[in-house]
């Protein structure tokens, strides 16, 4: 599995938000963060480099996109060049629509 470092930031922020809003306890956050960190050790994590930033700054076939979504899609395009059969995992309809328009495969289908 390949993921942008942004994925880890967003996951951690969601856990922190969960505690801040009372949706989870600090102990639950800690357990979830351990699971995330354990899973991420097996991932290829890519950074947000100049190439990703440049692509994210350009229009996508399905607009409007939020900035972080554009970074995710730009990262996916970069990885897709080197990873035949790349499949984008997303439940966000904006990302799914844009990824489909870019010719990327999606899961869930």
**pTM of the shown model:** 0.89
| 3-class SS string, 64-91 | CCCHHHHHHHHHHHHHHHHCCCCEEECC
CA–CA distance, 104 with 80 (Å, rounded to integer): 8
According to the model, what pLDDT value does residue 101 have? 96
Cβ–Cβ < 8 Å for 87, 106: yes
User: What are φ and ψ of residue 61, in 5° steps?
Assistant: -65, -20
pLDDT (0 to 100) of residue 109: 87
Percentage of the chain exceeding pLDDT 90: 97
Spatial contact of 68 and 49, defined as CB atoms under 8 Å apart: no
């Amino acid at each position: 599995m390949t993921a942008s470092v942004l994925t880890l930031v967003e996951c951690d922020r969601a856990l922190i938000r969960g505690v801040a809003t009372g949706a989870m306890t600090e102990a639950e956050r800690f357990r979830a963060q351990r699971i995330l960190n354990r899973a991420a050790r097996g991932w290829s994590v890519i950074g947000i480099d100049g190439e990703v930033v440049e692509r994210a700054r350009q229009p996508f076939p399905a607009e409007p996109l939020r900035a972080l979504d554009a970074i995710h899609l730009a990262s996916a395009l970069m990885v897709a060049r080197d990873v035949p059969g790349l499949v984008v995992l997303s439940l966000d309809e904006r990302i799914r629509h844009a990824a489909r328009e870019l010719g990327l495969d999606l899961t869930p289908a």
